[in-house]
Structure 1
Amino acid sequence: MTCGTGVELPFLIRPENTARYEDGEVLILDRRVYPFEVKFVRCKGYRDVAEAIRDMVTQSGGPPFCAGYGMAQAAREARGRSSEGILEELERAAKCLIDTRPTNNGIILMTEKMLDVGRNAVRNGHDVENALVQAVNAEFEARHKRGLAIGENGASLLRDGDSVLNHCWAESGIVYTVYVALQQGKRLTAYCSETRPYLQGARLTADALCDMGIETTVITDNMPAYLMSRGMISKFFTGADRVTMDGSVINKIGTFQIAVSAHYFGVPFFAFCDGPDPKAPTAADVVIEERDPNEVLHCLGQRTATPLAKGYYPAFDVTPAEFVSAIVTDRGVFSPYSMVSYWQ
């Protein structure tokens, strides 16, 4: 799809380059090696999908769609069983997929939605696998429409000439915000923190923004405060794996320290999300994933730390509402202190 400026949505955000369903198999773009290599991991069953999500083959907004297709695989696996047997397999698959990355609320919401689709298909005697595949495909279309709405709201916060800092890979939030801003004729430059240890900022965000024609500079994770002190950053944007009802932003580790720096230097911090989690009143109600400590001792397959040292890897941190300027959603831009308004 192309906007009025002739700029297309970047490779990474196109549905077929997130995941696709082919003859009972789920093909997932391996974001661990992109953009150096365009490779798809082929998953033959939902347990393979779960392993791919756990192993960071896909991140950010990718896992929910992969999990959705994984639910279709569960239905395929249960074909020929009784209605009760099919539902049991779907529930088993949902738990398996949700358990992969418990902080990512999108996986939970997608699998719960697909469970409802599966139950309705069983109840009405429809092909459960097909119903689930079609439902996931519809979710991709809904993401596009929701992304455009988020982009309209995000672009309203940008001025011509802004220099935007991004941390990690905010997926459709930052892409559609830039997409709409370009339609409005705004000129932007971008900085991307590299985002160790998987370098999502250096590889994914930077690639997508360059793909859209944005002048983009990659910086190390310990540079943002210095750039802010020199007046080089106008706005700070991130995604959010979860926003709680008290306005806390749970996102990629490192978000909190940049937000504190932004607050000190008067740089607005905006977080994209599809809506706050009504089941999480505070950050204490969210499980913060801790990954294999060995992962922080390596980068792109190369050990980067002395073999004498150990690692520690909380995958996410919590930024309290006091350091958040606003939450950008499809329904508008909200103060972090008025999250309840999103649902009213």
Structure 2
Amino acid sequence: MSKLKTMTLEWTGDAVIFIDQRKLPLEEVYVKCTNHFDTFTAIKDMIVRGAPAIGASAAFGYVLGAKEFRGELGSEKGIDHMKKVKEKLASSRPTAVNLFWALERMHKTFLENASSDNTIDILEKEALAIAFEDIEVNMAIGRNGSELLRDGDTVLTHCNAGALATVDYGTALGVIRAAVEAGKRISVFADETRPYLQGARLTAWELMKDGIDVTLISDNMAGWVMSQGKIDAVVVGADRIAANGDVANKIGTYSVAVLAQRHGIPFYVAAPLSTIDLSTPTGKEIPIEERSHKEITHVQGIQVAPHNVKCYNPAFDVTPWNLVTGIITEKGVVRPPYNVTLKNLFD
């Protein structure tokens, strides 16, 4: 029985264990999920987050769902059970397309092998393949993106698209890691990324652990820092990329892209092919998750806003394709017209 252990998650064969990203960087707490409902909760409550990590986590949750069934998985009841497992996991978060991609891949594998004597072993092998492929893909994204950065560059990031957002290595932070590994001196300005503070809590923590020079700023400082000539490039991740190149990413990304264009700074998106959704024509069709208002009214459990104030808390925004300089994938860097170049990646 194969196992997997990275900074983000561990697969033991009977459980998937996550580092609780809500507690970082002050505490390293681990959450053990032994069934698909626990995995659903871990994804929904952002114990694990980041589009590629969500996809791999859901794949392991699907395996746990298969292990829960007492009976013949190939039976009508077994097939109905696995359909419900897939639907439950898919309902955890609506924006990250990797979630649906991974579950479709797992369910297809199940249906093709439902009558096998070792269905669960086959499903476990597929989930592990998704996880290990993600690591290889991230490293390829890193290599391709690192060529866009020069020795001495300073990069602005938004949210966390590092090892914690993937199975390992990262997408946007993978580009930075690969450039550093290639011998380039790279510095990073990390947006704090309100309201969930993934930049302050996670990106800064990851980069400091790797010994990469990082400076934390609040989100509303980005424009001023750019105007001071301190930023050479912006590199962010993505949760879904539409067929025309519109990019859904953590709320605040759109503002950063507008500011980058205003200051003549290249704005790159680093993402695997599994994040590109050719079935979604434009960003207008991407569902945007709205999360609890408490994420705005409270900071780390401390209330900072008046009681009963009206709130609006979309977790993501959409950056139009014409603000994106290039999209860095495992197959290379593509540029506009994205409705052509993105499609070519799959041909």
How much does 1:225 deviate?
0.3
Aligned residue number for residue 191 of structure 1: 189
Deviations 1:184-240 (A, max 9, x none): 210010011011122111111111112221110111011100000000111011100
How much does 1:284 deviate?
2.2
Aligned residue number for residue 324 of structure 2: 324
Aligned residue number for residue 92 of structure 1: 84
CA RMSD of aligned residues (A): 1.5
**Distance in 1 of aligned mates of 2:34 and 2:214:** 38
Aligned residue number for residue 294 of structure 1: 294
SS in 2 for 1:196: coil
How much does 1:336 deviate?
4.0
Q: Are residues 247 and 309 of structure 1, via their aligned partners in 2, closer, same or farther at CA, if it must alter by over 3 Å?
A: same
How much does 1:20 deviate?
2.4
User: 2:223 aligned to 222, 225, 230, which one?
Assistant: 225
Amino-acid identity (%): 35
CA contact (8 A) 2:192 2:216 kept: yes
- Aligned structure 1 segments of 4 or more residues deviating by more than 3 angstroms: none
How much does 1:23 deviate?
5.3
1:341 and 2:318 correspond: no
**Distance in 2 of aligned mates of 1:222 and 1:157:** 26
Mapping of residues 219-298 of structure 1, within 5 Å = 219-275=217-273, 276-298=276-298
**Distance in 2 of aligned mates of 1:158 and 1:126:** 51
User: 2:159 aligned to 150, 162, 168, which one?
Assistant: 168
Q: How many residues align?
A: 330
The one-letter code of the counterpart of 1:151 is G
SS in 1 for 2:220: coil
Aligned residue number for residue 41 of structure 2: 51
Q: Are residues 219 and 82 of structure 1, via their aligned partners in 2, closer, same or farther at CA, if it must alter by over 3 Å?
A: closer
CA contact (8 A) 1:15 1:140 kept: no
How much does 1:15 deviate?
4.3
How much does 1:337 deviate?
2.2
User: 2:105 aligned to 93, 101, 113, which one?
Assistant: 113
SS in 2 for 1:222: helix
How much does 1:152 deviate?
1.1
Aligned residue number for residue 27 of structure 2: 37
**Distance in 2 of aligned mates of 1:284 and 1:230:** 34
CA contact (8 A) 2:326 2:335 kept: yes
CA contact (8 A) 2:172 2:269 kept: no
**Distance in 2 of aligned mates of 1:182 and 1:98:** 36
Aligned residue number for residue 310 of structure 1: 310
Aligned residue number for residue 3 of structure 1: none
CA contact (8 A) 2:95 2:239 kept: yes
The one-letter code of the counterpart of 1:205 is T
Aligned residue number for residue 166 of structure 2: none
**Distance in 2 of aligned mates of 1:47 and 1:145:** 29
TM-score by structure 2 length?
0.91
Structure 2 residues not aligned, in runs of 5+: 163-169
Deviations 1:84-110 (A, max 9, x none): 222211111111111111100111111
How much does 1:327 deviate?
0.5
How much does 1:48 deviate?
1.5
The one-letter code of the counterpart of 2:97 is N
